[in-house]
Structures are given as structure tokens and as C-alpha cells.
Chains A and B, each alone.
Chain A
Amino acid sequence: MMNIVVAIKVVPDDQDIQISAAGELDMSKAHQTISAYDLNAIEAAAQLAQAVGDSKVIALAVGGSAIDESKLKKNILARGAEELVMIADDACADLDAHATATVLAAELAKIGDVDLVVCGDGSADNYAQQVDVQLACKMGVASVNGVVEMSAAGSTLTAKRKLEDVIETVEAQLPCVVAVTPDIALPRIPGMRDILAAGKKPMNVGAADAAAETCLETIEIKAPEATERKQEVSNASDDGAIDAFVAALKAAL
């Protein structure tokens, strides 16, 4: 029996981000969505809960007030979590890893008896890959990143992790924090029945107890300047098109 919390980030959908002529990012038309790799984390948590048996998955999200959206909450709960705890508070918008971990740790203490926290590989916006390790430090427990497989027996979590040069198998004492890679589990596609059932699951939405201070200052967010390209495009079947392409390639090599 395990209590598993999956920590998820809600972000503006990058498909809806518009770039102004001045290079500013306009998110005002973007829907709130689950950060892509956190979908794999929810699925991994749900699969582990099923493998262990008699276990529960709680989804925990921290963000600004905009994340408190009905469709989004149902989407989170339609993917294998039994319960949602959401801190939707403008004091918690755009937190850095240290501040996010502070708020998450406070909520985890309230949930109580948590055996495992599952995080995604990185968030769609900053992809810092730091909340898992910062949270583990706050909790005084171990963390494992890059996890591609995991199992739990007794008080031990065994994780296989894919690093740059090696595949490691490590053991951590529960409770602990893992960050899973997208390879660990393919997210399910919720059916109509899952979404209807999700609406009846417990949703506990509130504000943060204390504002968490970020230690990073954002100076500017801008679209990258596009590299000027020649854009000399021709049809391969045109006379001499391939020769011209090859000549340009030889010159560049």
C-alpha cells in the first residue's frame, strides 16, 4: 500500500503562444494545460499504484489563480489520480524551483503519510529539472532523476535511470522523490467515462499558506531573433537544380 503524490505543473499551451512584431510572447490567448512530460509522470504514478495494489495517487499542482479551471482539473483527474490538491494563488505564479519546492513541501506535510512523490522530466516553460531535487532536500529525503522504470517493495524504491553515458539501477529508502523521463509510460487518452468520473473526484483548491519568495529575477522574455537565411529553393526536377544545390553544398563544406 502506497500514497503516491504526482506533482504537476500547469502551463500555457505553447501551441497558442503568439509572437508580437516586437518579439514579445503573448500568452493571453493560451489555454492552461498540463505540462507535456507531467502526463507521463501521472501515468507512471498510476501504473506503480496499480502494481503495488491498494494504493492511492494524489495530483498536486501549484500555480497562479489562472490554473483553477474546470476542464483542466477534470483532465488531470481523468488520467489515473484519485484526488487533486491545487494551490491556485497569484502569489504562486511563475515560481522558481526553490520556491515551488517550498510550497509543495508545505502541502505534502498537510497531506501526510506520503510514500513517494513523482515529478516529470522537466516543465514545458523553463525545463529546469530542479523541482524534484529541491523538494527532496526540503523533505530531507533522497531524489532520483532520469527514471525509466521503477518498482517498490517494503520500504525500498528500486529505480532504473537513464543517464548520458550509463544506465544505473539505484535503491532509495521511501519516502523519496523521483523525476521520470517520458519513456517510462505512455500517457493514457482519457475516455468520456474517465472525464465524467473525474468530475466527481475530490478537488481541493486553495491558496498558499505563505508566499514563497523566488530567488531569481526575470529581466526579459523575448522571441529569439531569427537567423537570416537565403531561402534559395528550387524544384529538384528543374534543369540544373541539383547541380546548383550540390555546388552550394561543396562551397559550404
Chain B
Amino acid sequence: MKAFVIAEHAEAASALAAGARTLADEVAVAVVGSEQVPANIADAAYHVAVPEGAAADDAAATLEALLDDVQVVIAEPVRHVKSIVGKLAAAKGASVITDCLSIEDGVATSMYFGGVGQIRRKAKSGIAFYTAGAGSFGDAQPSGSNAGAEELSWVAPAAALKLVSSEPIQKSGVDLNKSDVVVAAGRGFSEEADLDLARALCDKIGAGLGCSRPLAEGAGWMPSETYIGVSGLMLSPKVYIAAGISGQMQHMVGANRSGTVFAINKDQNAPIFKQCDYGLVGDLKDVLPKITEAL
């Protein structure tokens, strides 16, 4: 059995190569774009440099020839790679199972209706295509003897995109996926300035600050890459502190795999109190400074 990993980021390439090793005895990895394939993660490694004026999505035409003896493709769940793997699946008459939470014996578990349910699916025949996050394979470690990566020459597709410009997004600086402790702010914050109370708590315990969707997409108080839940971040930190979060399913699917859940909300009937380990009923403006001080 041979698995083929496609990623844009070196870190994802390692994590998915480790996962691929749990599914197949032979692992090949391709990284598309400016990052490189890390050494010793696979049996074969390839790199695709995207030419000036081309879009990474079109790397599918370059990679297609490498799939002839492959049974499983695992791809990084980012937009460029979702395009690439979609094109490859189309060429092979297959569909991609995206954003897999886990893959065992070819059966992938992913979310259904944003986490209301979980759906388990597998490919009926041919190549099985999946996208999966770094956390989908537990603590599997990559192994292999690849040194560098073979540089593939770009094959332009018939209907190519033309890249006009690419501007880096200014990030808030905190990668919540890597935070052991996350404070999430919700609609219980009635004014933007009150978020400083949550920031003070974060500073005290070295936590990252995230939010529920309305604070990012509605109010615009928080960067959109910090909202947690359906179509946003899916986190599993050691400690999760929900401040002014009501506990709606759409948010909680992004947090319910956390180690210990703490909640503060002024509404004692908020659903969050049924989904937390420790809860305090009270006003954020009053309670947050007291907690920060006592820590």
C-alpha cells in the first residue's frame, strides 16, 4: 500500500507523513510552494515550485503522474491544497473526504452539519482521497530516509489561473492551535474595551485569546482567524476558559475536545454550564479582574 501526502507547509507535511505511515507501508510526500520537505519523514519526497504568475492550485497537473501506483492520498486542509486534491480526485473519478478527524482502516470520520453529527465514510474503490489536520493521527511520528526532495518541473494546465498579486495577511501573532491555554471571549462582552479584561487574564497565565464567531465576523473586534467553532478554529488545549460564551453548539464543536473547561457567564441558564468542568455565574467586568488578581 502506498500513500501520497500533499502539503503547502513543512510542518503539515511531517504530521501527515506520520499519519500516512499508520495507513500504508510506503509513503511519498510532495510540498507545493516556498516551503521544503523536511528530511527523514518519507520514502520519497518531491517539491513543486510555483512559477511566477502561476497559482499553487494548478500544481495538480504536475502531481497527477505521480499517483499511478498510489492507493491513498492525504492532503493538508488549506485552500490551495483543497483545490489541488479536488482536481486530482476529479481526474481519478473520485471524491475527497475533507477535514477528517480520524482515519482508520480507510474509514474517515468527519463532521456532519457542523458537528451536530459525525459521519464515517470510505471510498468505494480506486484511490481514497482525504484532507486531514495535523491532530488527526494522535502522536504518530514520521519516519523515513528521504534527504532532499526531487524538484518536479511545472506542468501548466489548459485552464490556468494567473496570479496577479499575493499579500501576506497580518496575523494577530498568536497561533491558538499551539496554545495550551485558551481564553475565548463571547457576546457577554458588551464593549470592545472590556476585552482588555480578558487580555489581562491571558497575560497572567500565558493564554491565547480567541473568540466566538459574532465577535470576529459581526462586531469585528477580533481578527477572523481567532474565532472558534464551525468554519473556524477547532481546538483541543489543555485548559479552555469560556468568558461570556453562551455555549451554542456552533461554537462548542471547536472547543469540546479541550482538557478542562472553565466558564464564566452572567446567565445561570447558559448552555455552557452543562458543558464545563468549573463554572462561575457572574458579571465579567466584576469576576475577570478578581480571577486575574487571585492567580
Contacts and interface: CB of A to CB of B under 8 A. Distances in A.
- Bound together: yes
Interface of A: 11, 14, 17, 19, 25, 96-99, 101, 121-122, 124-130, 132-134, 136-138, 140-146, 158, 161-173, 176, 182-183, 214-224, 226-227, 229-237, 241-246, 248-250, 252-253
Contacts of B202: none
B287 interface: yes
A219 B121 contact: yes
A143 B83 contact: yes
Which of B117, B126, B268 gathers the greatest number of chain A CB atoms within 10 Å? B117
B276 interface: yes
Contacts of B117: 17, 25, 221-224
> Top 10 A-B pairs ranked by shortest CB distance?
A236-B282, A133-B86, A233-B279, A137-B90, A96-B95, A252-B260, A230-B277, A142-B159, A169-B164, A98-B95
Contacts of B239: 249, 252-253
A99 B93 CA distance: 9
A176 B86 CA distance: 15
B121 A217 contact: yes
Contact of B277 (A144, A224, A229, A242): A229
B98 A129 contact: yes
Contact of B278 (A162, A232, A253): A232
A234 B262 CA distance: 12
Contacts of A226: 256, 275
Contacts of A125: 112-113
25 contacts: A98-B89, A98-B90, A130-B96, A145-B79, A145-B82, A145-B83, A163-B169, A166-B169, A170-B161, A170-B162, A170-B163, A171-B162, A172-B162, A173-B159, A215-B126, A220-B119, A224-B256, A229-B276, A231-B279, A234-B279, A234-B281, A248-B260, A249-B291, A252-B238, A252-B260
B90 A101 contact: yes
A216 B79 contact: no
Contact of B119 (A99, A221, A231, A236): A221
Contacts of B290: 236, 242
A182 B89 CA distance: 26
Contacts of A140: 158-159
B159 A136 contact: yes
The size class of the interface chain B forms with chain A is: 35 or more
Contacts, number: 253
Interface of B: 55, 57, 78-80, 82-83, 86-87, 89-91, 93-99, 107, 110-126, 158-169, 181, 205, 217, 224-225, 231, 238-239, 241, 256-257, 259-264, 268, 273-283, 286-287, 290-291, 294-295
Given A17-B113, A216-B122, A232-B277, A246 B260 contact: no
A169 B276 contact: no
Contacts of B93: 98, 215
B83 to A, nearest CB: 5
Contacts of A170: 55, 161-164
Contacts of B181: 253
Nearest to B111: A127
B105 to A, nearest CB: 11
Contacts of B96: 97, 128, 130
Which of A17, A133, A163, A218 gathers the greatest number of chain B CB atoms within 10 Å? A133
B78 to A, nearest CB: 5
Given A230-B277, A236-B280, 17 more contacts: A14-B116, A124-B113, A133-B83, A142-B160, A165-B168, A166-B168, A169-B163, A171-B162, A215-B123, A220-B120, A229-B275, A234-B281, A245-B262, A246-B295, A249-B239, A252-B259, A253-B239
B79 A161 contact: yes
